[in-house]
Copies of this chain bind each other. A is one copy, B any other.
């Protein structure tokens, strides 16, 4: 959706640079200087200094005729001076994404439709599921479908298969689109920062199973959904996006489930877009989202 995603007429490349480092004066000037030296024209820039962690975060979109290697060399030099953690990518490049699902189709349908029609910058390279319900939908959108059944006995094999696919397909992002299986600690670590889950409650309310039933029982007046990075600590990973929808006493649990699908897919789609556009940076167990 960003205008910078399109190639400028003059052959310059639209880059997106994200970085974080200990906060101190001069960072912005140094980065702006590096980019100016490489003919860069900054089209979007955001920054944030966290007084609690003492860290500084920055995201810059810039068009520059420079080669990637030139920019990377310059950034490496700057990195030594400012102790930067940084990444550089072509703005708008589709991120190679694998979607894991179970039987509910709403999140996959939404992501696939937005990828096709709304320029969601992902390339959906695989759908993995322990059921076959989603196969026709994946097929309709031309996404290879992999049926990987999971039982208590085969869980380790299933996760090994998933890691194989991630490897083979150069997967950059795994989306748990109502996958309903808990990933092992080892898998969480192996894919750290690369797995987004949609939890069907407004976390930290209603962790764990059957959140809509919990919400109904508590009599809440808004239901919610939370898109977050997956860590070994279930439903405790860094939150990327949340949204809610108003409900009232007349709604049964199954109504909340149906209404919640809209909230889930909205929150998930935004989180995936922001991740794919390199707008999400980690600040401890919290996220910086440069929207």
Binding site for B on A (CB under 8 A): 1, 3, 24-26, 28-29, 32-33, 35-36, 39-51, 104-106, 109, 113, 117-119, 136, 140, 202-206, 217-222, 224, 238-244, 248-250, 252, 254-255, 258-259, 261-262, 266, 283, 285-289, 291
Contact = CB atoms under 8 A, between A and B. Distances in A.
Nearest to A219: B286
Give the interface centre of A47, A109, A222, A239 by most chain B CB atoms within 10 Å.
A222
Contacts of A47: 42, 44-45
Contact of A249 (B104, B205, B218, B287): B287
A46 B46 contact: yes
A220 to B, nearest CB: 6
A291 B222 CA distance: 15
A287 B242 contact: no
B51 A39 contact: no
Contacts of A204: 205-206, 218, 220
B28 A45 contact: yes
Given A51-B3, A106-B113, A222 B238 contact: no
A17 B288 CA distance: 24
Given A46-B46, A249-B283, 16 more contacts: A1-B255, A25-B39, A28-B32, A29-B35, A44-B250, A45-B46, A48-B249, A51-B252, A106-B117, A205-B205, A221-B239, A222-B224, A222-B244, A244-B244, A249-B286, A262-B266
A37 to B, nearest CB: 9
Contacts of A3: 51, 252
A119 B252 CA distance: 14
